[in-house]
Amino acid sequence: MKQPRAWQRMLSGRRLDLLDPTPVDIEVGDIAHGLAFVARWNGQTMGDWPYSVAEHSLLVEDLYGRANPAAPPRWRLAALLHDAPEYVIGDMISPVKAAVGPGYGGLEQRLTAAIHLRFGLPAALPLTVKRAIKRADRVSAWLEATQIAGFSEAEANRLFGTPDAAIAQNFRIEPQPPAVVRAAFVARHAALLALC
């Protein structure tokens, strides 16, 4: 019996095997393009454009840097790439991930490892770095929830925790066109990579 296809052709021409991804099949342009067209919150956000995973990734990297000003550029790069696997597997909301089960987590881990190795990061991040990025991710989720996804602050506090006001202040989320976000992601990736 013929095996089902488990690879995807990227716009760069690369062929990414989802079950056995390798660093040589990863291109930042493919990641930026895919993430710029993947909507967070299943597209249930306010504005003329969907709020993309690329825009979210830029926010998480910024929040991580504010909370960890002495962090080396490589960990800021890791923050930018924290959701990079979603360029091929999409952004599943947490309830769907739970329903899908452990297979989703394994797929995400394999893609993350290949992406990290491609850009000079360890396949698995140190736990302290991973936790710090997760904290920035939760602040981002709180900001997104309260500003563009229709959550009350009380509901967001319950689901994502109350963010540190000094870190979360002065952010105004306004979803941008995919081409703008894609270019910003590529530019930030290049700037961080140059510092690593």
Number of domains the chain contains: 1
Which pLDDT value is given to residue 102? 76
Higher pLDDT, 113 or 171: 113
**What are the structure tokens assigned to 139, written together?**
């602040």
**Is residue 170 domain-resident?**
yes
**Is residue 8 domain-resident?**
no
Higher pLDDT, 91 or 93: 91
**Is residue 124 domain-resident?**
yes
How far, in Å, CA of 192 to CA of 196, rounded?
6
Enclosing domain of residue 75 = 23-194
Residue given tokens 């991580």 in the structure block: 64
**Is residue 52 domain-resident?**
yes
CATH number at residue 70: 1.10.3210.10
Give residue-wise pLDDT tens across range 2-39.
777 788 999 999 999 988 999 999 999 999 999 999 99
Residue 85: closest CA among 149, 129, 132, 25: 25
* Mean pLDDT, residues 167-181: 92
Per-residue buried b or exposed e for 120-145, using 16+ beta carbons within 10 Å of the residue's own CB: ebeeebeeebeebbebbbbbbbbbbb
Give residue-wise pLDDT tens across range 114-154.
999 999 999 999 999 999 999 999 999 999 999 999 999 99
> How many residues appear in the chain?
196
Which pLDDT value is given to residue 3? 72
**Is residue 9 domain-resident?**
no
Which pLDDT value is given to residue 96? 76
Higher pLDDT, 63 or 99: 63
- Cβ-contact 74, 125 below 8 angstroms: no
**Is residue 15 domain-resident?**
no
Integer distance in angstroms from the first to the last C-alpha of the chain?
47
**Is residue 190 domain-resident?**
yes
